[in-house]
Amino acid sequence: MLRTMMPMGRQLASAGLVGARPALRLTATRSMATKSDAPFSLVAADQSIAVQKLFHQTSLASLALTPIAVLAHPSFLSMPIDIVLSVVFPLHAHIGINWILTDYVPAATPNSAIRYGVLAVTGLTILGLLKVSIVDEGLVGTLKATWSSPEELKKSRDSK
């Protein structure tokens, strides 16, 4: 009776029909090995708990602000929301890319040139998106222009 209550794998193993499975080990990836006392650093953005919390905050900000930005365009709220999103999106991606680097690129030590390169690309991305948000039509306006016909674009620019 007790034998029938055992899971099938254990029954087969006890009968000698299959080998016993090793116990599963739960191991963290290298990027999850964050240190609570590590300083806040955007170069090694996957090494501190504070940056991990910032990652989660940028995720929530993106989740809340993106639909508002799309629905509020064009209005007086468009530019401030676009400016915030111009910083939040690249910062969120930067932290995530640092986790990927730690897990898959062995040469990506905390102060390597690869990390500084990613930081430079993140900075340039923020500057580019800020330029689009302040000087041009903004992030949402540029996105909406993707689905507009050339005639609609010309009409909207002529009316300004």
Quick check: 75 pLDDT over 90? Answer: no
The pLDDT, as a whole number, for residue 24 is: 46
Question: Which residues are part of a known binding site for heme b?
Answer: 92
**Does residue 48 sit in helix, strand or coil?**
strand
pLDDT band at 18 (very low <50, low <70, confident <90, very high): low
- Phi–psi pair at 35, nearest 5 degrees: -110, 135
Q: Residues 49-59: pLDDT tens digits?
A: 888 899 999 99
Please state the three-class secondary structure of 65-128 as a single string.
HHHHHHHHCCCCCHHHHHHHHHHHHHHHHHHHHHHHHHHHCCCCCCCCHHHHHHHHHHHHHHHH
Q: Which residues are annotated as a binding site for a ubiquinone?
A: 104
In this prediction, residue 48 carries a pLDDT of 83
Give the contacts of 78 (CB within 8 A, at least 6 positions apart): 69, 72, 138, 140, 141
Residues comprising the binding site? 92, 104
The answer to whether the predicted template modeling score (pTM) of the entire model surpasses 0.75 is no
- Answer yes or no: CATH 1.20.1300.10 is held by domain 31-158: yes
Domains of the chain, residue spans: 31-158
pLDDT per position as a tens digit, 19-42: 555 554 444 455 444 555 567 777
pLDDT digits (tens, 9 = 90+) for 110-135: 888 999 999 999 999 999 999 999 99
